[in-house]
Structure 1
Amino acid sequence: MKYHYNNYLDSLNNNLLDISHKVDISFEFFPPKTEEMKTQLWESLNKLVPLNPSFVSVTYGANNGERANTHKIIEEIVRNTDLIVAPHLTCIDTSRNQLRDIAKNYWSLGIKHIVALRGDYENTNSIMMYAADLVQLLKEVADFDVTVAAYPEVHPEAKNAQADLVNLKKKIDMGASRAITQFFFDIDSYLRFRDRCVSIGIDAEIIPGILPISNYNQAYKFAKMTNVHIPKWIKKQFEGLEEDPLTRKLIGASVAIEMVKSLSKEGVNNFHFYTLNRSDLTFAICKVLGVIKAS
């Protein structure tokens, strides 16, 4: 099985353009909840570290216990690797003073890059604070490099596409350096969104978020929650493969590789991979794209 997978990657290597000279990559991980998941996270990190990502982000938990776990794993990554770590930080159910304390603690650990996410729209569980306010708060605490979120297919809670775009511009105007998109599968939706960003005066880089699919049902669930369209041709590719994980991985890698190739031809030089704490697909994609050099 391993031989079959490696031969597949070699054949792709022979047929795809090497774009490594102009590609930067970054990876997203989430804090593990169990010892087994922690082992998987570190195995993935160790596999991907040699790819020299520009940074790795770590998502923020939804409750105090998960958030404490987030801080702990971030400190471990900072302590045990040379990676630039960009923790996610949200303003949901957290006071301004608490946010300042968290930011000061990160800065003292040598963390200079934060991904400021969520809180863009009102909901009954959040304080009256939005992502733009969070960006402003972070820049007041220290000269953080701040990344924010963007939604090519519109945030599920936005009033409309224009309001969503205006909100993104507000975050950039408050001091964010770049935006990472929600994952998507429709290249045209990203390109149209990028053009609309330019038209409204957003000059920050809009980094595409890439989700390699290994489990279609899981990807569909994520997509439904986040207002992301999955083209019918992708769904068809995964039909009948519920009991065939290897073929699912091969197809998932192919889809992601073609996306990166197409986006690269449109001038995109930076890609953010949602790893789901697994390294295999992301590593394979980077190998095919020439990010990993032959020894």
Structure 2
Amino acid sequence: MTKHLQDTLSFEVFPPKTDEGMTKLKRAVSHLNKLEPLYFSCTYGAGGSTRERTFETVSWLREQGIETAPHLACIGSSKEEIRAIVDHYRDQGITRLVALRGDLPSGMGRPDRGTFRYASELVTYLRDAYGPQFHIEVAAYPEFHPQAASASADLEHFKHKVFCGADAAITQYFYNADAYFALVDACEKQGVSVPIIPGIMPISNYAQLARFSDACGAEIPRWIRRRLEAFGEDRESIRAFGHEVVLKLCERLLAGGAPGLHFYTMNQAKPILALCSDLGVVAKTTRDRPAD
């Protein structure tokens, strides 16, 4: 299991809004990079609201020689803007992209005519414009996209997105392994054979997790919610319980054939390092343990 995970481990970070946040991010990345992940992905704000910070973060990652997969959200951007961004990344030696529809920033109405409406259109454009230059990942939803009309419609949208030229998919985070395996089985029956990488969200802050989950439609199983609620402000108990829940989830996913794990780090190294250590993946050096 260790070698399999070591070869397919990846991490998501987000562009900090402050210099202090950037310092924290750099410290976390330096620790996580010792696990020798396949790549780090970097998020992109709604409508490009964190565009400059994203560019700054991606540039820093590349300067460290780190394989980087920037998120590319198409809503609110013209084809010309997308082309300029992708050309910029290509010039930095980037060969991976995470192609997403993205969300409209608060207060923005319908996107201007001529912009991409769906991630499938963005994937099609990238393949037409750049051919095989980029390894393209897209999003998948084991518990279905919150805006999907039905489970079957969601599967059809995902299938279309993949057939437009995606190389792999990364899922929304989840805590029900059965939902992931059901998605993989349904995709296989539809002829979708690209790797579907489980997205893993560590549990260390229940209030924050509940807020994220309510916003994105990811389900926290009732038994997990109740246990977390019972801990109140006992952060150490929340972290210990969350670690065991996520560790068992990862173990089951890998044992069931998941092609890797993609961790949503929230720019923190310590919870990820603890999980990876218990999964048999250890850092190249144990010096300078993270304090976050």
* TM score, norm. by length of structure 2: 0.89
CA gap 1:216/1:103 in 2 versus in 1, 3 angstroms: same
Whichever residue aligns with residue 282 of structure 1, its letter is: I
Whichever residue aligns with residue 276 of structure 1, its letter is: M
Q: Indicate conservation of the 8 Å contact 1:103/1:141, yes or no.
A: no
Determine whether 1:35 maps to 2:19. Answer: yes
Whichever residue aligns with residue 235 of structure 1, its letter is: R
Q: Indicate conservation of the 8 Å contact 1:104/1:141, yes or no.
A: no
Extract unaligned runs of 5+ from structure 1.
1-18
2:78 equivalent among 95, 100, 104: 95
Q: Indicate conservation of the 8 Å contact 2:169/2:197, yes or no.
A: yes
Q: Indicate conservation of the 8 Å contact 1:156/1:226, yes or no.
A: yes
Whichever residue aligns with residue 37 of structure 2, its letter is: P
1:115 equivalent among 74, 83, 98: 98
- 1:29-69 C-alpha deviation (Å, 9 max, x unpaired): 00000122111111110110010111110000125551111
Q: Counterparts of 2:90 and 2:159 in 1: how far apart (Å)?
A: 26
Whichever residue aligns with residue 140 of structure 1, its letter is: D
CA RMSD of aligned residues (A): 1.9
Q: Indicate conservation of the 8 Å contact 1:58/1:88, yes or no.
A: yes
Q: Which residue of 2 aligns with 1:148?
A: 138
Q: Indicate conservation of the 8 Å contact 2:34/2:284, yes or no.
A: no
List structure 1 runs of 4+ shifted beyond 4 angstroms: none
Determine whether 1:56 maps to 2:44. Answer: no
CA gap 1:139/1:217 in 2 versus in 1, 3 angstroms: same
For 1:256-271, what aligned pairs fall within 5 Å after superposition?
Answer: 256-271=246-261
Q: Indicate conservation of the 8 Å contact 2:41/2:71, yes or no.
A: yes
Q: Which residue of 1 aligns with 2:289?
A: none
Whichever residue aligns with residue 122 of structure 2, its letter is: L
Q: Which residue of 2 aligns with 1:245?
A: 235
Determine whether 1:223 maps to 2:213. Answer: yes
Determine whether 1:22 maps to 2:4. Answer: yes
Determine whether 1:198 maps to 2:182. Answer: no
CA gap 1:156/1:283 in 2 versus in 1, 3 angstroms: same
Q: Which residue of 1 aligns with 2:126?
A: 138
Q: Counterparts of 1:47 and 1:84 in 2: how far apart (Å)?
A: 15
Extract unaligned runs of 5+ from structure 2.
286-292
Shift of 1:247: 2.0
Shift of 1:239: 2.5
Shift of 1:268: 1.3
User: Alignment length, in residue pairs?
Assistant: 275
Q: Counterparts of 2:196 and 2:47 in 1: how far apart (Å)?
A: 29
Shift of 1:237: 2.4
Shift of 1:106: 0.4
Partner SS state of residue 69, structure 2: strand
2:171 equivalent among 181, 194, 203: 181
Whichever residue aligns with residue 82 of structure 2, its letter is: L
Q: Which residue of 2 aligns with 1:5?
A: none
Partner SS state of residue 46, structure 2: coil
Q: Indicate conservation of the 8 Å contact 1:28/1:57, yes or no.
A: yes
Partner SS state of residue 70, structure 2: strand
Whichever residue aligns with residue 69 of structure 1, its letter is: R
Q: Indicate conservation of the 8 Å contact 1:28/1:59, yes or no.
A: yes
Q: Counterparts of 2:153 and 2:278 in 1: how far apart (Å)?
A: 39
Whichever residue aligns with residue 45 of structure 1, its letter is: V
Whichever residue aligns with residue 125 of structure 1, its letter is: R
Q: Which residue of 2 aligns with 1:104?
A: 87
- 1:239-261 C-alpha deviation (Å, 9 max, x unpaired): 34332222222112111110011
Partner SS state of residue 203, structure 2: coil
* TM score, norm. by length of structure 1: 0.88
Shift of 1:146: 0.3
CA gap 1:179/1:82 in 2 versus in 1, 3 angstroms: same
Q: Indicate conservation of the 8 Å contact 2:74/2:102, yes or no.
A: yes
CA gap 1:271/1:112 in 2 versus in 1, 3 angstroms: same
Determine whether 1:72 maps to 2:56. Answer: yes
